[in-house]
Structure 1
Amino acid sequence: MHSSCRLGVARGADHLNESRKWGRVAMDPFSQLILTISVTSFLTFQWLFHRVSPWMSMRISPGFMGLSDKQKVEWNSRTVSTFHALLVGIFCLYTLFFDDAINEDPVWGDPTLVKINVAITTGYLISDLLLIFYYWKAIGDKFFVVHHLAALYAYYYVLGHGMLPYFANFRLLAEFSTPCVNQRWFFEVLGYPKSSRPNMANGVAMAVVFFMVRIAVMPVYYSRMYAVYGTEAFYLVPWGGRVAWICSSICLDIMNIMWMHKIARGCYKVLRSARHRKAPAPQENGKTD
């Protein structure tokens, strides 16, 4: 067995042994740090929602004050969502390109940077769940509740057992498509026509980014999954972790393909209608100017 593989298997066994002791001994300093980051993340995103977003939105977009109370709640929620997506997305790119430990051992590589990023996302998800339940009439959505709970279940294995850091980090890259999706809603609620240049530019960007971070990366993701399937490192992952990893990945990518189809069709229709409106009217002799 390759030395890095043996090291990964040994590290995986150590992680499992340490995780079994969590309920019997005090948390180690790094686990305390991760917990602190999660709590700080939760409080920060609550502060961004209740204080920063309303204050900033009133000054950047005059149309914000004309929104209904429900629209303002969703506006602030999407503002926070955009900030979170950019923060963790940039962190993901750095980890993907510069963290050699998880690239060499995607199952049991040193999860330090990934744990920090996942802890930030965990705080955000819990914060968003609280807001969804509290403002259910404005932003309540059963799909998002299921999505958030499923993500938290999967992140438990990353934070609690230190497993699958490469795959957890790779999944978070999908957050890069969130800002464009939110911006589409901002334009719609502010009354921008679908054929307006800002809306069209955002629509094209949304389709391109969504394809790049959710569809084009599938071969890379599943090739790494296939490469570790059946190895000793793979069998150290408990059944719950495998279900959270494999089943959730397949289900999520089925939805991603469906969403990509809808986004591509919508983008094509808008661009086609805009091109037809710009086409010059034919003359009586059938020629155009």
Structure 2
Amino acid sequence: MEAANMVAKSYQTRAESLLRQYLPADSFVPYTSVIVGILGCKMVYDLSQLISALNFKSYSSLSNMKRVEWNNRAMSTVHAIFITAMSLYLVFWSGFFGDDRTGGLPVFRSSSLSSSALGISLGYFLTDLAMIFWLYPSLGGFEYVIHHLLSMSALLYAILMKEGQLYTFMVLISECTTPGINLRWYLDTAGKKRSKAYVINGVLMFFAWLGARILLFVYLFYHLFMHLDQIEQITTYGKCLLFMVPCVLSVMNTMWFMKIIKGLVKTLAKRQ
């Protein structure tokens, strides 16, 4: 076990060394990473369009608007996988934000890697919000606009001020539910609403949402309470974001969770 930990630590050290060598200077991280995020979204959108047309018969029969949504959801799925992996690594596995680590208070810690990840995520939210506005309300209504604006405000502050990145990543872990939501839409669009996969997806979504968007937020508020002495040292605007964004998202998550429960109960009732 100790040997495995040493090997893992060795790979982590090498990865961090490579990132320090090849990532741009701190002053350019916000700009380059946001651009990378936007270009990445464009690339995924175009690849989804190409791959889906060649491999899914149902894709060709969709309306233009449905095809746009299909590709948009592919974009959000890739972003969700990326930012969930980065958030879990930085918050729980790397120890970068741990209380026992030297290098300043956790609420003020940042690095080229953490800022780059947030910048890429900001690029995605900018792209997705632009599409929502352009095609409003086909890709999402008012609640999606509020969700994206709040997320972008928190991301921008965390990147530029280098404060509260820990809590920003905690909130971003909730993006792990996005692939399940998108898969459910794909199954429905492909006419698989009565399939076993659709039911399994609903059950998994229930547990994923409960863990990542309900219980995780409870832990986030507990962590905030236990580190109030550090939070009091950041700017007033930063404190407002740290408390307001998770509170509003918690309310929205709870409302959506109730809809998930109703949908799951309805689906299971039909199967009996």
TM-score, length-normalised on structure 1?
0.79
- Looking at structure 1, the residues matched to 89 and 96 of structure 2 have their Cα atoms a distance apart, in angstroms, of 13
Structure-2 residue corresponding to 1:176:
176
Deviation readout 1:3-62 (Å, 9 max, x if unpaired):
xxxxxxxxxxxxxxxxxxxxxxxxx9212033111111111212322x211101123321
Q: Which residue of 1 aligns with 2:36?
A: 40
> Which of 1 and 2 has greater Rg?
1
* Structure 1 partner of 2:116: 116
Q: 3-state SS of the aligned residue for 1:216?
A: helix
Gapped regions of structure 1 (runs ≥ 5):
1-27, 277-289
Instruction: For 2:264 and 2:106, locate their aligned partners in 1 and report how far apart those are by CA, in whole Å.
Output: 36
Number of residue pairs the alignment of both structures matches = 244
In structure 2, the partner of 1:206 is 205
Amino acid in the other structure paired with 2:119: A
Which portions of structure 1, spanning 4 or more consecutive aligned residues, are displaced by more than 4 angstroms?
none
Q: Which amino acid aligns with 1:262?
A: K
Shift of 1:197: 0.5
Equivalent position to 2:63, from 62, 68, 71: 68
- What displacement does 1:111 show? 4.2
Matched, 1:99 2:88: no
Note closer, same or farther for the CA distance 1:93–1:137 as it changes in structure 2 (3 Å cut).
closer
Scaled by the length of structure 2, what TM-score is found? 0.84
After TM superposition, give the deviation of residue 140 of structure 1 in Å: 5.1
Shift of 1:99: 3.0
1:86 match: 81
Instruction: Give the C-alpha shift of residue 70 in structure 1.
Output: 0.8
Offset, 1:93? 1.2
1:134-174: per-residue Cα shift (whole Å, max 9, x none)? 33363253322222122111112211110012101100000
Given that 2:90 and 2:96 are in contact with CA atoms closer than 8 Å, whether structure 1 keeps it comes out as no
Which amino acid is 1:271 matched to? L
Maintained 8 Å contact 2:29/2:112: no
SS of the aligned residue for 2:138 comes to: helix
Give the C-alpha shift of residue 98 in structure 1: 2.7
Q: Which residue of the partner structure matches residue 53 of structure 1?
A: 48
1:89–1:176 CA contact under 8 A, matched in 2: yes
Structure 2 residue aligned with 1:218: 217
243, 246, 250: which one aligns with 2:247: 250
CA distance in 1, matches of 2:98, 2:47: 37
The C-alpha deviation readout for 1:264-289, integer Å capped at 9, x for no partner, is 22212212321x2xxxxxxxxxxxxx
Q: Which residue pairs with 2:6 in the alignment? A: none
**Unpaired segments ≥5 residues, structure 2:** 1-23, 100-104
Describe the shift of the 1:209–1:60 C-alpha distance in structure 2 as closer, same or farther (beyond 3 A). Answer: farther
